[in-house]
Amino acid sequence: MFQTYCLSVTYLLRNNVFVLCLYPLILQFITIPDRITGGSFLASPSKMGGVFFSTGYTRGQCKMSDINHQDSSTKKLFKPVSSRVNFPAMETDIQSFWKTNDIFRKSEFTDSDRPLFVLYEGPPTANGSPGLHHVLARAFKDIMPRYKTMKGFKSIRKGGWDTHGLPVELEVEKELGISTKGEIEAYGVEAFNAKCRESVFRYVKDWEDLTDRIGFWVDMDNPYATLNNEYIETCWWLVKQFWEKNLVYRDYKVTPHCPRCVTSLSSHEVSLGYQEDTPDPSVYIKFKMAQEEDEPEASESAYTYLRELATQYPVYFLAWTTTPWTLPGNTGLAVSNDSTYSAVLVRTDSNEEIIVMASSLLKNVMDSDYQILNNFLGSELYDIRYEPLYNPEQYGIEIRSLKENQPANTQEFRPRIINASFVSMEDGTGIVHIAPAFGEVDLDIGSQEGLFFVQHVDSKGEILGNYEFAGKFVKDADKDITRDLDTRGLLHRNEIYKHTYPFCWRCDTPLLYYAKSSWYIRTTSLKDELLSGNQEINWYPDYIKNGRFGEWLRNNVDWAISRERYWGTPIPIWQCESCGEYTCIGTTDDIRQLSNTDDLPSDLHRPYIDNVILECQSCKKDMYRVPEVMDVWFDSGAMPFAQWHITSQEQLNDLISDGKFPASYICEAVDQTRGWFYSLHAISTLLTGGNSYENVICLGLIQDEKGAKMSKSKGNVIQPWEVINTHGADALRWYLFTAAPPGNNRRFSSQLVGETLRHFFLTLWNTYSFFITYANIDDFNPTLSKDVKITAEMDRWILSELNILIMQVTELLEEYNPTEAGRRIQEFVDTLSNWYVRRSRRRFWKSENDQDKISAYNTLYDCLVTVAKLMAPFAPFISESIYQNLVVSCDLNAPESVHLSDYPICNESLIDQDLSKAIRLAMQISSLGRSSRSKSGIKVRQPLARILVKLKDEEESSFLKLVSDQILDELNVKEIVEIHSEDKVLDFTLSINPAVAGSKYGSQLSEINNLISRLDQNQTALKAKAGFKIILDEYEIEPDELNLNYTDKDGYTSASDSGYLVAIDKELTGELKDEGIVREIIHRLQNMRRSAGFDIADHINTKYNTDERISKAISNFQSYIRQETLSDHIEISDPTTSEYFEEHNIDGVVLKIGIDLVK
C-alpha cells in the first residue's frame, strides 16, 4: 500500500502577500500512472481506468477573486472526508444520529394528510436467532417504504411476532427432553404452554438488534403478537364469519399427518416439506384369488375362466406399492375399466402360477418366462374376491363398513376388485392396492364402492394389534412386512424406489396420509374468486402469478385448520355433551352471553379456555370446547385484521376506508407462495371478497458461493453479523439487491459482499472524498454559486446522464424492480468516477476559467447529492452520511435527514440524447483503443501518431467529431482517422464452415474451399459481412456458412466489439519516441521522490547519466520535466553522488538518475 499525495498550488493575493497553499492528502489505495502525463492517479478499485486524485506534482495559478470563500483560518464548510473509510463504524454513527433525532418516527409523517403506503410485515418467530435469509427479506421489505416515503407517502410498517405453533412447541420439547404428546400432558398443558410463552420472545433482542443494524425501519415499539388475547379474538371473529357463511365444517378425511407431532397439516404446510430422491421400498405383491361359492358380479367369462385356472394353478392379482406398511389395511384392488389385462402362466424352478395384470406393463414387470393365456378388459374383473393378506380379525383390528359407517360383521369381510378411473398404465402393474385408511382417493373410492375400512396404525404412526411387527413405526415395519410376505410366497419383486416425498416442515418426520376427523374451511367454494383476485395482484417476478401461485390456487383443496396440539389459537367451537350440537363464538362477549358469567380467563389459551363451559341453546346442557387449536398459518394470514384487533363489520369497514387494507406491498421468499401468501389471500377473499395485498416481491433462496443450499451440517452457513461487522450493512444490502433479480436464487459469500464494497462503495466514496478535498481547498459553497450557467460539454453530458438515471430508477422502483434500479445507479457512479471526474480533474486543479471551475463543482455536487438521494432506500447509511455533509452542512432549510427529503425528479430539459450517444461513443472507442495498445504492448504513456476507427453506424460520424478531443487525450494520440472498411487494417481468410454447411454439401466441401481460396479474400469477406451470398460456379454460399478469420495488417493492432473497430498505427517517429521516453522518465522521477521520502512540496535538483539519444530527449523536453517533477535544475552529471540514486532501463538503455533536495 503506497502513500500518495495530492497537491494543489494556488496563489492568493491577500494584503500583497504571495501565499503558497499546499494540501497533502493521504490516500489508502493503489495508484497507477497517468496515461498521458506520466503522473500517478488514484485508480478506481473496480477498474484501473478510473482516476480520482492527482498524485503527481501539478502546479497552476488559481485566481479566486470570483469564487466565494472564507478566510483560510475559518472552519471549512464541509467536514473533511478520509479515504480510509470504515463503513461499519460510519453506519453505527448514523444509527446514533437517527435515534438521537428520532428520524424514523419523523419519517412516519403521522400528522400529515399524505396518501398511505402500507407494508404487511410477515411475522417471524423469535424463538431462534435471525439468519441471512431474514436479512434478505427485511432488506427488500425496507426499500419500498423508504422510497415511497421520499415520494410523498405516509408509510405504515407495523412489526409483528409469530408466536404460536409447532416450531415453538418443538423447541420447548427439546428443552424439556420430551418428544410425545403423552409426555406433554404428563408434564401439564398449563406448564408446557407457559414454557412456550416464555420461549417465543427469547431472541427478540437479537432480532431487534439485527433489524436496527441493517436499517430496516419497522415499528417494533408497537408490534402485534399472535399470542395476545386481542389477536386471538380477531382470529375467532374471522372463524365466526366463515361459520355463518357455512364455510366451516368437520369431516372424516384422509389428511397429511405428522406422527411425531401427532397432528394434521394443511396442504400448504405439506408443500413446504417435500424432499427429493427419498428412498422407499418398491414391492410387487400377489393377492390370491378367493374360491367363492357365491358368484360375484364379475363377467361370467373372466371369472369362470380364472376359477377354472385356479383348479390347476394358484391365481394371483399383482399390485405395486411403495408403502408396504399400508398392506394390512388393504380392502380392495382397483383396475381400469377399459384397459386390457392378461392372465399369464409364470414358471419358476419351484412352481407354476397364474399372474393377472395389465397387458401393456408385462414387459416392465415380468423378469422370468411367461405365457399369455388369455386377455380381458378390466371391467370383466369387477367384484372378483381375493384373500386378504392379513385378516384384521386374526390380529385384533376392528373392521368397519364404509357404507354403513359402523363396525362390520367380520364374517362379511371379503376384499374385492373394483373399477377406478385413476388407475394408470404408465407404471406399476395396472392394479392399484386400495387402503381407505391411508389415501384420499382410496377413502373416496372405498366409500363409493362400499369397501371395508381397516385402521391398523395409531396417530403416532405405530402398528396396532398383535402382528409380529406390532408396536413398530410404520416405516420401520416395511422390512418386516415385506419379509413376511416373501416367506409366504406373496412377494413377486422387491426394489428401492426414489421419489419426492413429503416430510413435516418443522420436525422433518415423514408424513403419513391418515384418515381422521378434522375441521376444514371450504376454500374450494371460492376457487373462482381466489383465481380472479390473483389476476389483480402485481407479482414480481410476474411468472409466479400464473405459475407457482396460480397453479396452487387452481388445485385448491379445502383448508384443514385444526391441529391436535396445545400452543396455538384455540378453535372457537363448542359442542354440546348431550345433543351434539356445535356453536362457534366470535368474541369474548359471545362467551359471556353463552356462559352467563363475566369471569373469563385472563389468558385465552389452553388449558384455561378449555375450562369455559357454555350453555347449549337447544337443550340447555353443557357445551365444551373442541380440543384442537388453529393452524398457525391461519394466525399469520389473519394479521391484516388481527394486528388492529378487528372484531366487527363496522371496524372492518373503517379499516378499509382508512386505507390500511389492503396492503400496498408484501415481500417474502418463494416458499411462502403456499404459506403466508396463500393464507393472506384465502382469508381476505373469504372475508371481504377482495385481495389483501396489491404488490408482492417473491424472493429466491440464498445459497453458498458454489450454489449449494446453506446448512449447518455442511458447515457453509454464514452468520449475518460476521458480514455486517466486516463490510457494513449497506454493502450487504446492496449485494442482496443487485446480485440477482428478486425471484432468482443468490449465491452468497462474504467475499462477494467485499467485491460489492470495493467495486461500488469505494468508487462512490472516493469520488465524494475527491469533491470534499478540493471543495474545501477552494472554499466552494453550493448555496452561493447556484446561478452559474452550465455550459461545459462534460457538465451538460453528466447532468443529462444524471437525469436519465433519475427517470430510469424511478420507473424501475415503481415497477418494484430494485435490482435493475440499483444496477443503474452503480453504472452511473462508475461512469461519474471513471469518465467525468477523471476527464474533468484538471478543471479542479487549475482555473484558467473560474466560472468553468465553479460549474464543475456545481455539477459534481449535484451528482453526488442526487445519487445520495436515489440510493437512500437501498443504502440508507452511506446516503445519510453524504447528505449530512453535503446538504445539511450548508442549507439550514434542508430536511434534517436524507430519508425525510424528496426523491429526485427528472428534469427532462437537461437530457441531451445526442450528447449522451456521443460520449458513449468516446468511451467505447477509448476502451477499444486501450485494448489495442495492450495487445501491441505499447503503453499509454507512449504517444502515437494516429488511430483508425470504423464506426457501427455512419450517422455516428458527427458524434465522433464532437468527442474527438476527448479520445485523443484519453488515448494519447495525435490524430483520429475514420475508415469505412475493415480491410484497411485487417486481412481476411475464408473457408466453408463444416458445422453449418457439412450436411448440405457433404463431399463437396473440399471443392468449395478450393474455389473460395481463389477469391479476393478481403473483398469476399466484406461482401459476406454485408449479408450477400457468395456465388461459386453452381454453389450459392450463404454468409452464415462461412468461417471468417482475420489478422491485423502489418503496422496495425486492432480491437473490435459490437460493430466498432479501432486500430492503432504502431509506427513511431523519433519525436514520438522521445516524447514517450520523457513521460516514462517523469513517471520514474515521481516514484523516486516518493521512495526518497521527500515532502510533496520539496523542490529537487536532478542529475542523470545516459546515452546520447535519451539525453537529447531530456534536453528537448527539459522545461516540461522540470514543471512536472518540481526540478529546479536538470543536468548531466554523476548521479551516484546524489542523496537518492536509482538506475533504470529505458527502452533498453541504462539511465542513472540521482535527486537532491533543494535546501
**Angle, helix 1005-1013 to helix 994-1001, in steps of 10 degrees:** 120
Q: Which residue has the cell 410485515?
A: 121
**Angle, helix 87-100 to helix 720-727, in steps of 10 degrees:** 100
- Cα(1016)–Cα(988) distance, integer angstroms: 9
Judge whether 665 and 117 are in contact, CB under 8 Å.
yes
* Strand ranges across the sheet with 219-225: 116-120, 154-161, 219-225
3 state DSSP class of 623: strand
Nearest alpha carbon to residue 478 among 280, 275, 254: 280
User: Beta strand pairing status for 695-699 and 666-669?
Assistant: parallel
**1079: part of which helix (H) or strand (E)?**
helix 1070-1092
Please say if 245 is a catalytic residue: no
Nearest alpha carbon to residue 207 among 283, 123, 120, 282: 123
Query: Where does residue 114 rank: exposed (0-12), middle (13-18), buried (19+ CB within 10 A)?
Result: middle
Selecting among 712, 786, 789, 1159, the annotated active-site residue is 712
- Cα(439)–Cα(1145) distance, integer angstroms: 86
Judge whether 447 and 454 are in contact, CB under 8 Å.
no
Please say if 709 is a catalytic residue: yes
Please say if 388 is a catalytic residue: no
- Cα(353)–Cα(579) distance, integer angstroms: 57
Q: What letter represents residue 778's amino acid?
A: D
Selecting among 123, 502, 572, 943, the annotated active-site residue is 123
Judge whether 255 and 513 are in contact, CB under 8 Å.
yes
The string of DSSP letters for 1003-1058 reads GGHHHHHHHHHTS-HHHHHHHHHTT--EEETTEEE-GGGEEEEEEEPTTEEEEEET
Selecting among 47, 498, 620, 709, the annotated active-site residue is 709
Please say if 672 is a catalytic residue: yes
Judge whether 823 and 895 are in contact, CB under 8 Å.
no
What's the Cα-to-Cα distance from 981 to each of 952, 985, 1021, rounded to whole Å?
Answer: 11, 8, 11
Please say if 320 is a catalytic residue: no
Q: Which sign does the torsion angle of CA 1098, 1104, 1109, 1110 carry?
A: negative
User: Beta strand pairing status for 746-748 and 702-704?
Assistant: parallel
Selecting among 325, 559, 676, 797, the annotated active-site residue is 676
- The runs of H, that is alpha helices, within 427-494 are 440-449, 474-487
Judge whether 720 and 130 are in contact, CB under 8 Å.
yes
Number of Cα atoms under 13 Å in the Cβ half of residue 662: 22
- Cα(326)–Cα(463) distance, integer angstroms: 10
| Rg, Å, the chain Cα set | 41
Cell of 144: 419500498
Query: Where does residue 219 rank: exposed (0-12), middle (13-18), buried (19+ CB within 10 A)?
Result: middle
Judge whether 157 and 639 are in contact, CB under 8 Å.
no
Selecting among 237, 325, 539, 633, the annotated active-site residue is 633
Cell of 247: 364455510
Q: Which residue has the cell 418366462?
A: 369
Judge whether 988 and 1009 are in contact, CB under 8 Å.
no
Selecting among 145, 158, 161, 162, the annotated active-site residue is 162
3 state DSSP class of 354: strand
**806: part of which helix (H) or strand (E)?**
helix 793-814
**431: part of which helix (H) or strand (E)?**
strand 431-434
- Cα(728)–Cα(876) distance, integer angstroms: 11
Question: What is the maximal distance between C-alpha atoms in the chain?
Answer: 132
Selecting among 575, 643, 672, 1086, the annotated active-site residue is 672
Nearest alpha carbon to residue 1048 among 976, 987, 989, 991: 987
DSSP code for 65: T
- Cα(287)–Cα(386) distance, integer angstroms: 6
Q: Name the residues annotated as catalytic.
A: 123, 162, 633, 672, 676, 709, 712
